[in-house]
Amino acid sequence: MKRTLGTCYYPEHWPRDVWASDAQRMVEAGLTWVRIGEFAWSRLEPAQGAYDFAWLDEAIAILGEAGLKVVLGTPTATPPRWMIDRHLDMLAVDAQGNPRKFGSRRHYCFSHEGYKQDCAQIVTKLAERYGRNPHVAAWQTDNEYGCHDTTLSYSDMARHAFQNWLRTKYSGLGNDGDIDALNAAWGNVFWSMDYSDFDQIDLPNLTVTEPNPSHVLDFRRFSSDQVVTFNKLQVDIIRAHSDAPVAHNYMGRITDFDHFDVGDDLDIASWDSYPLGFLEDRIEADAGYKRAYARQGDPDFQAFHHDLYRAVGKERWWVMEQQPGPVNWAPYNPEPLPGMVRLWTWEAFAHGAEAVCYFRWRQAPMAQEQMHAGMLRPDSAPAPALGEAEQVFRELAEAPDVTPYQAEVALIFDYEADWAWSIQPHGTGASYFDLVFDTYRGLRGLGLSVDILRPDADVSGYKVIAGPGLMHMSAAQKAALANSEAQVILGPRSASRDENMRIPVPLPPALEGFDAVVSRVESLRPDMPIALSQGGAITRYRDVMEGGAEVVENTLDGQAAVLMSDRMTYVAGWLDAKAMQRVLRRVCDQAGVETQVLPEGIRCRRTGRELFWFNHTTEVVDVAGLILDPTSVKRIPRG
Ligand code: GAL
């Protein structure tokens, strides 16, 4: 597979007479792909059943004949205004009960059957018309599921669909649900929450105080399944008419639906990488850190998602949208330093991307994203990103191929665990994503390449497997880890709930061959870290352990902080960066995995044939004799 570049283009935003010259310039810049169509519904079907494909026919022909490959998006993230009159209740409803109105995008509820039929209709029209078009080389379903908080909807449609989902899950004799089974699973005897019929079950919002966590977890699972069903509807239609691969463009730090489940129905995972927007908007860090990386982005956040979506795509993944300059949507939107667009592009390739497409070709002079840079300015003069993309294109001559690589170290990511933590964090701000991300950062700071794994992944071949915070661990998952060859590191909070979100007895973690249990837990204020005797501290959350496993680290006040039995290490708390590094290093040493503590802002990644180094700082950095210029990338071929 070749490494390729592309861009996101909106022919419907520009006069027809610039399409050909745009296409020509894209080809000259070294671009292979052009993604189009994903928001164009009002121009494809201006009134119900009145289609206009002439302009899209022409645009695809012009782009394709210039030598570009088209990624055709389905336009279902932007239902046109006339449709709202047709389905007054198709808008999603937020947790406060307010409709999420027309006037931007993603204004639909995944459970609305009428809307889904209309989606099936437009996707069928597109697939029939372009499924065999030689220029349409890939498809994208919808746009960024879940973005703008759009997975969960508290509409009437969602309530009915949830009740049916529960009937099936807690099925009794015949097709009817067994309401007693649901009452038992959720523990509804508590606070007299018993139901006598599935029709009585409401969505878990607007309750007086917190709703039953078991109820919420099932609602989160249901909501995720609705996204999977919505996506699959489109994929099945496209596949009936086209052999081109189908992708979806996921977002950064959106965890409300299980991306692995959606990915199972797709050929390629892709995601939209906005390093500077994410630093300001989606990362917990102090002001000094954010200032230091304001023009470069966090050194681990993009890499984490590259590794996550490589797993979601089962090795086939792209960056569908790459930040080219300032975005419009974060609290502050600085320009990247010169060289960063190039660095981000190479970083994606280093993590296995097949394609990196820049968002967008030309900056829009109208509407919500006027303040968002493109590869060209609104007047069509080049913006800084164009030159950096051209540079990457030239450099690709030396390193044209994706070269897959299995890392020595794996990190498990479980979307359900994220929902479980968010339902009962036990302490303000304790988020599963942050815990996993801290672990990822710790591993990368030791110079390691990391494979992210889904919870039921094959774990063979790994020397170290980290599974922090997996609140529910199935018997199969526990067995797979116990039977692997790897050093396994779990905790805190691992296996602390059963599949119904209840505390299991015997007490957690109940791991084969691991002789200790969590006897009590506590969450900690930010200003009450518990110091460890070897330095660093437990913050936010701690498990108090009891049992015979070997204690390898203690708190200053003499409690077990890290325990070990055979190949299993259990971390009884959320470690700060210092302790995290030491504990991870110890596990790696035991597994025979070589580590190297990297300077701040320096990261590396191996591929099958290369070792890449990235300097995210503004200083020249010397890494054991390797000199890395500011905001630079170095590629070292290896045998
Ligand atoms: C993405 C989205 C694009 C555009 C971009 C701006 O989230 O898919 O359509 O809005 O952000 O940064």
Q: How far is CA 111 from CA 62, 164, 225, 271, 458, in A?
A: 38, 11, 10, 24, 33
Query: What counts of helices (H) and strands (E) characterise the chain?
Result: 18, 24
Any idea how long the chain is?
Answer: 639
Map residue 272 onto helix, strand or coil: strand
Say if residues 311 and 453 touch (Cβ distance below 8 Å). Answer: yes
Instruction: Compute, in angstroms, the gap from residue 394 CA to the centroid of ligand 1.
Output: 27
Pocket test of ligand 1: the residue of 251, 273, 359, 360 to mutate, having most ligand atoms within 8 Å of its CB, is 359
For residue 177, the model assigns a pLDDT of 86
Q: What does residue 303 show for φ and ψ, rounded to 5 degrees?
A: -60, -40
Cis peptide, bond prior to residue 35, ω within 30 of zero: no
Q: What does residue 435 show for φ and ψ, rounded to 5 degrees?
A: -65, -45
Distance CA 39, CA 73 (A): 8
Tokens of 166: 């529960």
For residue 174, the model assigns a pLDDT of 65
Residue nearest to atom 9 of ligand 1 (CA): 143
Tokens of 128: 């029939």
Instruction: Compute, in angstroms, the gap from residue 636 CA to the centroid of ligand 1.
Output: 33
Q: Is 499 designated active site?
A: no
Check residue 532 and report its DSSP letter.
B
Active-site choice (321, 388, 416, 553) = 321
Distance CA 136, CA 60 (A): 8
Active-site choice (38, 144, 280, 553) = 144
Instruction: Specify which residues 250 forms β-bridges with.
Output: 271
The whole-model pTM stands at 0.98
Q: What does residue 263 show for φ and ψ, rounded to 5 degrees?
A: -60, -30
For residue 513, the model assigns a pLDDT of 86
User: Which residue has 């977890």 as its token pair?
Assistant: 217
Tokens of 290: 């954010």
Instruction: Specify which residues 537 forms β-bridges with.
Output: 531
Instruction: Compute, in angstroms, the gap from residue 251 CA to the centroid of ligand 1.
Output: 9
Please choose, from the candidates 633, 64, 7, the residue with its C-alpha nearest in 3D space to the C-alpha of residue 319.
7
Q: What does residue 16 show for φ and ψ, rounded to 5 degrees?
A: -55, -30
Helix axes 415-423, 432-445, angle to 10 degrees: 130
Please choose, from the candidates 470, 459, 464, the residue with its C-alpha nearest in 3D space to the C-alpha of residue 415.
470
Map residue 412 onto helix, strand or coil: strand
Q: Is 315 designated active site?
A: no
- List per-block mean pLDDT (blocks of 10 residues) for the chain, which spans 639 residues: 98 98 98 98 98 98 98 98 97 98 98 98 98 98 98 98 97 80 98 98 98 98 98 98 98 98 98 98 95 98 98 98 98 98 98 98 98 98 98 98 97 98 95 98 98 98 98 98 97 97 97 94 97 98 96 96 96 98 98 98 98 98 97 94
Q: What does residue 30 show for φ and ψ, rounded to 5 degrees?
A: 95, 15
Tokens of 481: 């880890």
Domains and CATH numbers, the chain: 76-243 (3.20.20.80), 409-591 (3.40.50.880), 603-637 (no CATH)
User: Which residue has 């999977």 as its token pair?
Assistant: 228
For residue 173, the model assigns a pLDDT of 64
What is the DSSP secondary-structure string of 326-391? --SSSSS-PPPPTTHHHHHHHHHHHTT-SEEEES-SB--SSSTTTTS--SB-TTSPBPHHHHHHHH
Tokens of 449: 């390449």
User: Which residue has 């094959």 as its token pair?
Assistant: 458
